[in-house]
Structure 1
Amino acid sequence: MGPVEYAGERLVLREVECAHADALHALYGDSRATRHLPFEPRTREEVVRIIEEARASAAADPRRLYVLSVIDPEDGDVIGVARLHVEHDHPHSAEIGFGLRPDHWGRGLGVDLVRLLLRFGFKEVGLHRIWGARSPDNIASQLVMLTAGMVEEGRIRHHVRTPDGWRDSIVHSVLEDEWDGRRLD
């Protein structure tokens, strides 16, 4: 698969680029956006390193990691990030991660983003299972994943170490034969 550019009705997923560093720092560097993540807000330099690592992983064969900028097709702005990590030992299963800049919250774009990421995973990557984990306190992500068609599987206790200590994770998933991709075609 060449460089990713994958369009939905309201969003486009595109390979991260160094030119996206400021826009992605607006997400990764914002304490509201990272509140439920296992790390403190990132510096711009850390965001540049994330982009460099993502670009290097895009050349792997087979490719296991997709870190994609979320683009608003109306103005071309980078408004978020989407991540799909194919499991090494189970290459038909992948974990997703996603985030939008806070100035784009509350518009239903999170659901569109997850649906687009699911479509990409099932149709382009050929996955059978896609899952995501969230903080138990992240109700917005819970609603996004449920509305996008994922089901809540359960809790992994002390799954993630955060700056404040150990945190549980709630896992959501969807299987290829459960997914209703017609909503996106």
Structure 2
Amino acid sequence: MRGYEITGMGLGLREVTLGDVDALLAIYGDPAATEHMPFEPRTRDEVEDIVAEALAAAAAEPRHLYVLAVVELETGQVVGVARIRIEADHPHSAEIGLGLRPDHWGRGMGADLIRLVLQYGFKHLGLHRIWGARAPANTAAQLAMLVAGMVEEGRIRHHVRARGVWRDSIVHSALEDEWEGHRSLGR
């Protein structure tokens, strides 16, 4: 991405910057926002480390990690975060992870964000397969992934240990040659 911005239906993606720590802390540090994530709410120091990792990854060649600020175009506020991690051994496949501030839930932004991330992965990164995993109880993520054109592939049993217990993950994916999202974004 390196300075490149991509916009969709009311949302934009850009590289994270040092100035985004507070905005990302509002997601990574929020118990509601991280309820279905495979980690406890993050501290400010941990979020600063995430941003530092993102900045280092942006300079790497080849690049395998993109940490992107999700910007609400109308207000210019950072309201979310999107991660794309390209698999080192399979450079045409990537895992995505997403988070939105809880005060922006229920507005249809999740599906729009997933479409935007898929568009970026397929059109700009040349990916063939993009996948993401969600907690079984996260039905909002399930709906957003399905609406955005991802297919539910199956369950990974006891995939992550979160909050002291083992939790399954439900995997969703999109394939470049099957995905119709580029048409819905008008690109």
TM-score range, shorter chain: over 0.9
Counterparts of 1:27-176 in structure 2, within 5 Å, are: 27-176=27-176
TM-score (norm 1): 0.97
In 1, Cα distance between the equivalents of 2:4 and 2:141?
A: 24
Task: Tell me if the contact between 2:67 and 2:84 (Cα under 8 Å) persists in the aligned partners.
Answer: yes
Does residue 7 in structure 1 map to residue 26 in structure 2? no
Structure 2 residue identity aligned to 1:134: R
In 1, Cα distance between the equivalents of 2:76 and 2:42?
A: 23
In 1, Cα distance between the equivalents of 2:2 and 2:80?
A: 21
Deviation per CA, 1:21-71: give whole Å up to 9, x if none. 111111111100000111111111111110011110111111110000000
Residues paired across the two proteins, number = 185
Structure 2 residue identity aligned to 1:21: V
Deviation per CA, 1:65-104: give whole Å up to 9, x if none. 0000000111210000001110011100000111110010
In 2, Cα distance between the equivalents of 1:99 and 1:9?
A: 17
In 1, Cα distance between the equivalents of 2:179 and 2:82?
A: 19
Runs of at least 5 residues in structure 2 that lack an aligned partner in the other structure: none
Deviation at 1:163, TM superposition (A): 2.5
Deviation per CA, 1:97-131: give whole Å up to 9, x if none. 11110010111011100000000000000000000
RMSD over aligned Cα atoms: 0.9
Runs of at least 5 residues in structure 1 that lack an aligned partner in the other structure: none
TM-score (norm 2): 0.96
